[in-house]
Amino acid sequence: MKKAVVVFSGGQDSTTCLVQALKQYDEVHAITFDYGQRHKLEIEVAQALAQKLGVAAHKVMDVSLLNELAISSLTRDDIPVSHELQENGLPNSFVPGRNILFLTLAGIYAYQIGANAVITGVCETDFSGYPDCRNDFIKAMNSALVQGMDRDLEIVTPLMWLDKAETWALADKYQALDLVRQETLTCYNGVIGDGCGDCPSCELRANGLNQYLDNKDNVMQALNAKSE
């Protein structure tokens, strides 16, 4: 039996990964992390979607200690999300160590339930400048988990080389375009669906959707070519 664990935030990317995983694996578990993020609504959205999509199990894990260590606009209500980069070249929405922690815990969970895949929606093609979304980081993290637990495990990144338009196409390929558009939460200001329209996450999401809707056939063709 093929089992997978999906790192699931209830956002566009992780929901698209979850929809695909449910078609590709015999048993799919979702794991969501409560790290004291700006909007608790994110967890509620993840819970509702996991139930609606019918995952084998959905685990919500308290990792609020991250909030104590990682200062970011996504962990502090008094820090507004900015379009400007910080002095270190990163957006102030970057949460240092977040994916290191999430993938470590997801790997442990996968070990316990006998899953050989951890799926995450990180992307290097269309990303916000986060270093822990890059392919080199994923490969290093994968190697550390395999060596540290002495067990075969693959971190699967279905969106790594897709742009946002192709990510929308992937959702559409699995008949989940409306679900992802209307019921996921990607907005940094906590607005479900199309979002606030102003934050960097909403801009990236909207631009990708418009590109896909304006040129569906070509975008889907590009997606299928990357999937071969």
Specify binding-site residues for ATP.
8-18
**Contacts for 96 with CB less than 8 Å, ≥ 6 apart:** 69, 70, 72
Asked if 73 and 96 count as a contact pair (C-beta separation under 8 A), the reply is: no
- Binding-site residues from annotation for Zn(2+): 187, 196, 199, 202
Sign of CA dihedral 66, 68, 72, 75: positive
Integer Cα distance of 74 and 145 in angstroms: 27
- 8-state DSSP, 92: T
Sign of CA dihedral 44, 100, 15, 24: negative
Integer Cα distance of 187 and 118 in angstroms: 24
Neighbours of 190 (CB within 10 A): 16
Local structure of 76: helix, strand or coil: coil
